[in-house]
Amino acid sequence: MEAARKRGRYGHRDSTMILLAYRHGLRASELCDLQWHQVEINTGRLHVRRSKKGTPSVHPMQGDEIRALRRLQREQEASPYVFTSERGGPMSAKSFGTLFERLGRRAGMPFTIFPHMLRHACGYALANAGHDTRALQAWLGHKNIQHTVRYTELAPDRFKNFWRD
């Protein structure tokens, strides 16, 4: 996100895209398809529509996300899409992938990074924070829990407090 902020005139948009993709476990296509009617800035809720037949949900947003979205709304041209390209249309998932890969190199990452890594990072972060598998499944929009267990089976505190008196 820091590398995105330093990138130039679209740095705020780019860092906000990374923040939302990570916090909400969004796929690149879900992020790029996000429209303003899905964002309730005043109540701090994000209506997440999942691709790949995933389960839609409503997520709470944190203060930094709300502030970033308010600023983005003020600074960019009016559009139904939250994240727009230089020409004012919706950012494409492919363009976001290219941008994210470039930002990874600029940030000094020793390997190539892809937007889907943000989704996985979200799953692992929430599992490591102690959230149960069913809640994680709902957050990520997985229809099948088998896609969710990969995050919880590696959580270091998985068995913490099992036999606590």
d(CA 125, CA 123) in angstroms, rounded, equals 6
Structure tokens at 46: 């994000």
Does residue 111 sit in helix, strand or coil? Answer: coil
- What's the burial of 40, exposed, middle or buried (CB within 10 Å: 0-12/13-18/19+)? middle
Active site residues: 27, 52, 116, 119, 142, 151
Torsions phi, psi of 114, nearest 5? -130, 150
d(CA 109, CA 122) in angstroms, rounded, equals 18
Q: How far is CA 157 from the centre of its chain?
A: 24
Structure tokens at 19: 């923040």
